[in-house]
Amino acid sequence: MEVLKIIITVIFVIACIALSVCVLAQEGKSAGLSGSISGLADTYWGKNRSRSKEGGLLKATIALSTVFFILSIVLNII
């Protein structure tokens, strides 16, 4: 059981570091209200945002945060 806990802890630390890198690599959304008024979503970038670097970082952040929460619960149970 201790070996399993060590392996999960190592995966947890790697997920924490990767999540921090993904969050820090994302650009800020400074458009705010002016971006919604000017019709930012109608641009080519707005329609294909999920295929861009920002979309990939968003998906990676969601996946890593899910792994983070699941592993934190598992480590608490073990």
* Distance of alpha carbon 38 from alpha carbon 64, whole angstroms: 33
Contact partners, residue 5, CB within 8 Å, separation at least 6: 75, 78
Residue 27 phi/psi, 5-degree rounding, is: -85, 150
Band of residue 35 on the pLDDT scale cut at 50, 70, 90: low
Among residues of the chain, what percentage have pLDDT more than 70? 71
pTM value > 0.85: no
Minimal CA–CA distance to 19: which of 77, 72, 78? 72
Looking at every residue in the chain, the average pLDDT score rounds to: 82
Does pLDDT of 39 surpass 60?
A: no
* Distance of alpha carbon 51 from alpha carbon 76, whole angstroms: 36
